[in-house]
Structures are given as structure tokens and as C-alpha cells.
């Protein structure tokens, strides 16, 4: 590989986990056992794997966790009832509902039903509002927070820089724009958010000192869309059939890695870049929730 240095999310995540482990130990010494509930609805294999990984990591850090797996036929009312029980349970500090949800369940209704003080995903409107207002008492969504933590770890300063975000999702694009607009060394950026209706996407991308691809289109960002020396972050996870292994699939990011590595100054590998950070920030949010509860 030429040029680009790797932003190793795995390494940054390990550092975050170590700090989380110490905070868990401190809580336990005070008699508080941090505990999280993961809800999963339906039989999505990727969701099963993600929840399994979250549970495994939580255990390694000394965080208690329980997975509540509900059938794909679960009604919205049934899920809300189960959520309500966990909202009221003072032994539980964090609640996560794994997305995607079956069609009969509205995402907004579910996000609004989680107690904002247990909303470790940061999807509740109260937490989204706090993020926009720069109020640090909320929970920042995990993937955007993880991206900023990668920048912090590697000493990459976004202040004053041109940041271009591809994708305007509620989980990544929009909250990331809010974080990068906030004051601070991993904020204070000039942020452009591009989406499916944007014009002149390659021209915008070529201006970017930091380019973050979170649109869910395999290898959308080619080498000629990247400014020389730019920081490039690949959030995409698209499963494509593997031509080398019939019947198997491979994960492809939103960035053409080989081309990008010739042009970029810094680049996230995928896998091993943003993915591990999402779990690290989720468990850091869980401990934050437990600390706030303990006072
Ligand atoms: N599905 C994909 N990303 C996420 C996430 O960050 N949180 C939850 N709950 N589900 C997801």
C-alpha cells in the first residue's frame, strides 16, 4: 500500500475499552453493577451477530447484559410494554433496541419510548436535541462519537477544516454533522452534508480535508474524488456476493480502499475501522448512564 496511514479503529477501541473497564471497577467498588439490555426483534443474521458481539464485549468489561430476542411477529405495543418494564427497573442502566426493526414497528415510536437517561444509542429526541445544543449531559450516538474519538486518538484536528459527510442518516450523517460543528478540537469544522439529491458530489468531495462516507453504497468513493492527503473514513457496510467463493458474501465499504490508499493521507480500514468503535462508545455510554444513576 502506498501513502495513506491507517486509522486503526481496533486499536482506538481497545484504549476506550480499557478506560471503560476502569470506570466499571470504580462503580463496582461503590456497589453499582452496570447493566444493559439489548432488544432484538426478528431473525436478521447481521443483527444477531452485532448483538452477540456487544454482549461478549460487555461481559469482558464487567458490564452485566441480557439479550431479549423477540419474534419477528412482535407488535409495536408488545415491544413498548417490554421496554417500559426495563425503563422502570432501577437495576438496568442502559437499553438498546437493535435496528432494523420489522415493518410493523415504527422506529420513531420505539426511540421515544426509551427513557432518555438509559438511551445509550442516543436516538431519543431529547438526546438528539442535547447533541444539537452542545449539552454534554446527553448520549452522543455511538458511530459518530467513535469517529471523533478516532480523530482525537490520532491527533487529527478538524477545527477550521473542510469536512464533507456523505449520507444524512439519523444514526450517522446528521449526528456526526452536529458533533463536528460543536466547539472543540474534534469539532469547529466547516461541515457539508451530501445526500441523494446533492449535485456535484465529486467536486464537493475533492474539497474535503476530512471525507466521511456513510451512504451505504459499495465503493462509491473512488480515488479521483479524494484530495491528496485527506483523512478518509469509511462507515459503509454492504454485503455483496463473493465472486471467488460462490454462495459466500463479502463486506464492502463505501470507499474503494485500494484507490483511496494511493491518495489519502489517513484512511480507515474496513473492517477494523469504524465498526469496533461503535461498540466501544456504546459501552462507554452504558457506564456513563450508570455513573449518572449512581450520582
Ligand atoms: N443498527 C445499525 N447500527 C446501529 C446502532 O448504532 N444502534 C442500533 N441499536 N442498531 C443499529
CATH number of the domain where residue 77 is located: 3.40.50.10860
Question: What mean pLDDT do residues 106-122 have?
Answer: 98
Task: Determine, yes or no, domain membership for 135.
Answer: no
Residue 286 is assigned to a structural domain of this protein: no
Q: Is the CB of 121 under 6 A from ligand 1?
A: yes
Count of Cβ atoms closer than 10 Å to residue 3 Cβ: 14
Q: How confident is the model at residue 242 (pLDDT cuts 50, 70, 90)?
A: confident
54 in catalytic set: yes
For 171-223, write each residue's pLDDT tens digit.
Answer: 999 999 999 999 999 999 999 999 999 999 999 999 999 999 999 999 999 99
Name the strands in the sheet holding 5-6, side by side, starting at the edge strand that comes first in the sequence. 5-6, 266-267, 231-234, 210-213, 162-166, 190-194
With cut-offs at 50, 70 and 90, classify the pLDDT of residue 2: low
User: Please, what is the Cα angle at 136 between 131 and 142, to 5 degrees?
Assistant: 60
Residues 205 and 110 in one domain: no
Q: Note the pTM of the prediction, 2 decimals.
A: 0.97
Same domain, 184 and 95: no
The ligand 1 atom nearest the CA atom of 278: 6
**Residue 285 host element (H or E):** helix 274-294
Give the torsion through C-alpha atoms of 137, 112, 147, 135, to 10 deg.
Answer: -20
Same domain, 251 and 149: yes
Count of domains forming the chain = 2
Residue 148 lies in a domain: yes
Among protein residues, the one whose CA lies closest to atom 3 of ligand 1: 99
Q: Which atom of ligand 1 is nearest to the CA of 96?
A: 9
Give 94's strand partners: 36
State the distance from the centre of ligand 1 to the C-alpha of 3, rounded, in angstroms.
Answer: 32
Q: Is 59 a catalytic residue?
A: no
Q: Is residue 3 part of a domain?
A: no
Q: Which helix (H) or strand (E) holds 83?
A: helix 76-88
Q: Which of 98, 118, 186, 234 is catalytic?
A: 98
Q: What is the rounded CA–CA span in Å between residue 184 and residue 186?
A: 5
- Structural domain boundaries, residue 50: 31-115
In this structure, is residue 1 part of a structural domain?
A: no
Residues 85 and 181 in one domain: no
- pLDDT tens digits, one per residue of 249-274: 888 999 999 999 999 999 999 999 99
Ligand 1 atom with least separation from CA of 143 = 6
- Taking the C-alpha atoms of residue 43 and residue 4, their distance in angstroms, rounded to an integer, is 39
Q: What is the CATH number of the domain that holds 154?
A: 3.40.50.720
Amino acid at each position: 500500500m502506498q501513502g495513506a496511514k491507517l486509522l486503526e479503529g481496533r486499536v482506538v477501541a481497545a484504549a476506550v475499552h480499557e478506560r471503560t473497564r476502569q470506570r466499571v471497577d470504580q462503580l463496582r467498588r461503590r456497589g453499582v453493577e452496570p447493566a444493559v439490555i439489548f432488544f432484538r426483534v426478528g431473525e436478521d443474521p447481521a443483527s444477531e451477530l452485532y448483538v452477540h458481539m456487544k454482549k461478549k464485549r460487555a461481559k469482558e468489561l464487567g458490564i452485566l447484559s441480557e439479550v431479549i430476542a423477540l419474534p419477528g411477529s412482535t407488535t409495536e405495543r408488545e415491544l413498548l410494554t417490554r421496554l417500559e418494564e426495563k425503563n422502570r427497573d432501577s437495576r438496568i442502566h442502559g437499553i438498546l433496541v437493535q435496528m432494523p426493526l420489522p415493518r410493523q414497528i415504527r422506529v420513531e415510536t420505539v426511540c421515544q419510548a426509551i427513557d432518555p437517561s438509559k438511551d445509550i444509542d442516543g436516538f431519543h429526541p431529547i438526546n438528539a436535541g442535547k447533541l444539537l445544543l452542545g449539552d454534554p449531559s446527553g448520549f452522543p450516538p455511538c458511530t459518530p462519537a467513535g469517529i471523533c474519538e478516532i480523530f482525537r486518538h490520532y491527533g487529527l484536528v478538524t477545527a477550521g477544516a473542510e469536512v464533507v459527510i456523505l449520507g444524512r442518516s439519523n444514526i450517522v450523517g446528521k449526528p456526526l454533522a452536529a458533533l463536528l460543528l460543536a466547539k472543540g478540537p474534534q469539532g469547529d469544522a466547516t461541515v457539508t452534508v451530501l445526500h441523494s439529491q446533492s449535485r456535484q458530489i465529486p467536486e464537493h468531495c475533492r474539497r474535503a480535508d476530512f471525507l466521511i462516507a456513510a451512504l451505504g453504497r459499495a465503493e462509491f468513493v473512488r480515488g479521483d474524488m479524494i484530495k491528496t492527503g485527506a483523512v478518509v473514513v469509511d462507515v459503509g457496510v454492504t454485503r455483496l456476493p463473493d465472486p471467488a467463493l460462490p454462495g459466500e458474501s463479502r463486506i464492502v465499504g463505501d470507499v474503494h480502499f485500494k484507490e483511496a490508499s494511493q491518495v489519502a493521507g489517513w484512511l480507515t480500514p474496513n473492517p477494523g475501522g469504524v465498526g469496533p468503535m461503535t461498540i466501544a462508545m456504546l459501552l462507554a455510554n452504558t457506564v456513563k448512564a450508570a455513573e449518572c444513576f449512581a450520582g
